[in-house]
Amino acid sequence: MAHINFRRSRTFSLLGLFALALFAVAFTTVLSLIPLYVPRNDFNINNNNNIDNITVMQALTAAKNSLTSLTVSYMLPSGFAKKRSAQLFTNRQATAENLRQATGSPSGSILVDAISSARATGTKGRRRRDIQCDKTDRPGIAIVFDVALAYPENLPCQNLSCQVSLFTGIHQQFNTATNVAITADDGSTLPVQLCHVESNPNGNSNNVNNSSSGGIVVEPCSIICQNGGGCTGPTTCACTTGWSGDTCTIAVCTNSCQNGGQCTAPDNCTCTSGWSGATCTLEQIQTKKNKFQQFSITVAGGNGKGEELNQLSNPQGIFIDYDKSIYIADQWNHRIVKWELNSNTGQIIGGGNENNQLNSPTDILFDKENNSFIISDMGNNRVVRYSDRNQTNQQIIISNIICWGLTIDKDGFLYVSDWENNEVRRWKQGDKKGELVAGGNGKGNHFNQLDYPTFIFADKDYSLYISDNENHRVMKWKKDAKEGIIVAGGNGQGNSLKQLSNPQGVIVDRLGQIYVADFSNHRVMRWCEGDKEGEIVVGENGSGIQLNQLNWPTGLSFDDEENLYVADAGNHRIQKFVIDLN
């Protein structure tokens, strides 16, 4: 960022040769104060002439107005007469384009109001109506352009700070672009050499008797403003809406958070345990959390890794039907299998053969409205639909997507996580692209970013829960939100109760409690939104093959009795953890 310091104007009178000398010195001072660099697009305004009595906006406006007018003179090649020179250049639009190209300025930012000519001298021998060149000592004829600066409306930043930054940069370029090509009216191009640049802070040009500004000095700021804020003083920031504090890092909630809640993002309260709502004023009914028997039941697979009908190979997403049949994305067998209740073998309902091919499927769900299964066919970069009645009739509904997790909301909209583009999109029937609902701002760990999103879950309020795998956290994106909030993990990779390690499956129960397959920690965690740490639900005995152990858990699901099912990928089996009614 930068700090602009306005120097006081000087006035002087022309009294003889001595006054002329002073005048030359004054103009040299003006030119020397044009900034040599503009490091950032945000500015910090300090007016030595009573800055305390004007607002930052007024100071920025004053800075902009002092930079919008200047006079630039260029030496023509030898042999030009003064009168003929002015007649050579009458096309102000063409000249403005020449100057724009020479300074590298945006289109539409430079206008030429008038063109004239004058005799020019070097640093010595200047007559009353001559231009004194301080950029070259060569005398001759100079072409003089009265230049006005305009700020293009098509630039992405339209605030006053950016306008001051652009205009200051153009002044700088006029002072450093010493050799310029100007197009004459006959189409010929004449090389000209910089003679003199004069800033006209009061809008008047070519009037040497006017008072002259002391110029502008760009100085570095000593702080960095966050969340879009800009400097307004050596150590102060002007913050954007929703943020406050010395460096704009303190979130502002229009309605203050109650009952111990904290404002963690603009107008977003994180409530303490037992409270919910926009401002933490809704007291939650404390219901006893479900507990599960720690020794599980193997309900599918469990006969080692393999492709036989009684085997699985790295199972991922699972779906439990109303009759407790289990549908499994059997990833490394490239198939979807159905295991009925108390069955010792499964049946293939998708993939597993050349005519009905899948490639590393990762998730499956049932679309009640269309009576069909939807499958994330990750290895084929697509999402496909299988009819429940005609399972050989495969329909591709989304193409060209590195998909992983699937979920569907109560209105039938489909959500798909794209781990290559680090985003989640919502699709309705007939969509060709889908609507971005989470992420999509590149790979990263900011609240509006994701890093390798895998499994997802949509609740009854259309909030989306996302396992943000490489950020070791679960994010919740409320409907139409521009960024998410962390509801599990987010404290780096680890195995403490406040950490996760490569989370996979995520589901939410009827109480709003979040269950996460903590993949690399070989356990399933439960978090309540707003809690600083979670609790281990199952799998607290480390990695292993015993019935009270898990090995790389992935997909999660509940049946209608709230029993918990876990895809135990490393053991190639599906485990059922029965709810403990005692």
Domains (range + CATH), the chain: 230-286 (2.10.25.10), 291-580 (2.120.10.30)
Q: Model confidence at 40, in pLDDT bands (50, 70, 90)?
A: very low
Q: Model confidence at 22, in pLDDT bands (50, 70, 90)?
A: very low
Is the distance from CB of 478 to CB of 463 less than 8 angstroms? yes
- Please name which of 196, 184, 179, 198 lies closest in space to residue 86, comparing C-alpha atoms: 184
- Please name which of 519, 504, 506 lies closest in space to residue 564, comparing C-alpha atoms: 506
Q: Model confidence at 9, in pLDDT bands (50, 70, 90)?
A: very low
pLDDT tens per residue, range 403-445: 999 999 999 999 999 989 999 999 987 778 899 999 999 999 9
pLDDT tens per residue, range 100-125: 998 999 998 999 888 888 887 765 54
pLDDT tens per residue, range 350-395: 888 766 689 999 999 998 888 889 999 999 999 999 886 556 678 8
Q: Model confidence at 233, in pLDDT bands (50, 70, 90)?
A: low
Report the sign of the C-alpha dihedral through residues 252, 254, 256, 262, in that order.
negative
- pLDDT at residue 417, rounded to an integer: 97
Is the distance from CB of 382 to CB of 349 less than 8 angstroms? no
User: Residue 24: pLDDT above 80?
Assistant: no
Q: Model confidence at 491, in pLDDT bands (50, 70, 90)?
A: very high
R_g over Cα of the chain: 35
Distance of CA 350 to the CA centre of its chain: 39
Q: Model confidence at 12, in pLDDT bands (50, 70, 90)?
A: very low
- pLDDT at residue 475, rounded to an integer: 97
- φ/ψ of 121, rounded to 5, equals -120, 170
- Residues in contact with 554: Cβ distance below 8 Å, sequence separation at least 6, in sequence order: 315, 316, 317, 455, 504, 505, 517, 519, 567, 569
Higher pLDDT, 238 or 350: 350
Q: Whole-number mean pLDDT of the chain?
A: 81
Is the distance from CB of 424 to CB of 439 less than 8 angstroms? yes
Lowest-confidence segment of 176-180, 325-329, 361-365, 423-427 by average pLDDT:
176-180
User: Residue 500: pLDDT above 50?
Assistant: yes
Average pLDDT over residues 38-45: 35
**Token pair of 298 as six digits:** 């193997």
- pLDDT at residue 94, rounded to an integer: 86
Give me the sheet containing 394-399, strands edge to edge.
Answer: 363-367, 372-377, 382-387, 394-399
**Token pair of 173 as six digits:** 């370029």
Q: Model confidence at 35, in pLDDT bands (50, 70, 90)?
A: very low
Q: Model confidence at 161, in pLDDT bands (50, 70, 90)?
A: confident
Give me the sheet containing 503-508, strands edge to edge.
Answer: 503-508, 514-518, 523-527, 535-538
Separation between Cα atoms, residue 549 and residue 445, nearest integer Å: 31
Q: Model confidence at 10, in pLDDT bands (50, 70, 90)?
A: very low
Separation between Cα atoms, residue 13 and residue 20, nearest integer Å: 9
- pLDDT at residue 132, rounded to an integer: 78
Lowest-confidence segment of 37-41, 74-78, 324-328 by average pLDDT:
37-41
Separation between Cα atoms, residue 82 and residue 561, nearest integer Å: 97
**Token pair of 263 as six digits:** 């404002």
- φ/ψ of 496, rounded to 5, equals -75, 170
Separation between Cα atoms, residue 286 and residue 389, nearest integer Å: 44
Separation between Cα atoms, residue 376 and residue 394, nearest integer Å: 13
Residue 526's Cβ-side half-sphere holds a number of Cα atoms within 13 Å equal to 16
| Three-class SS state of 156 | coil
Lowest-confidence segment of 139-143, 287-291, 533-537 by average pLDDT:
287-291
- pLDDT at residue 467, rounded to an integer: 97
Determine the straight-line distance between the first and last CA of the chain, rounded to whole angstroms. 63
Separation between Cα atoms, residue 223 and residue 307, nearest integer Å: 61
Is the distance from CB of 403 to CB of 414 less than 8 angstroms? no
DSSP state of 200: -
Separation between Cα atoms, residue 213 and residue 200, nearest integer Å: 8
**Token pair of 531 as six digits:** 């809690």
- pLDDT at residue 79, rounded to an integer: 66
Q: Model confidence at 57, in pLDDT bands (50, 70, 90)?
A: low
Q: What percentage of the chain carries pLDDT values higher than 90?
A: 43
DSSP state of 491: S
Angle between helices 92-103 and 160-176 (to 10 degrees): 90
- φ/ψ of 166, rounded to 5, equals -65, -50
pLDDT tens per residue, range 330-339: 999 999 999 9
Q: Write the single-letter amino acid at 79.
A: G
- pLDDT at residue 455, rounded to an integer: 98
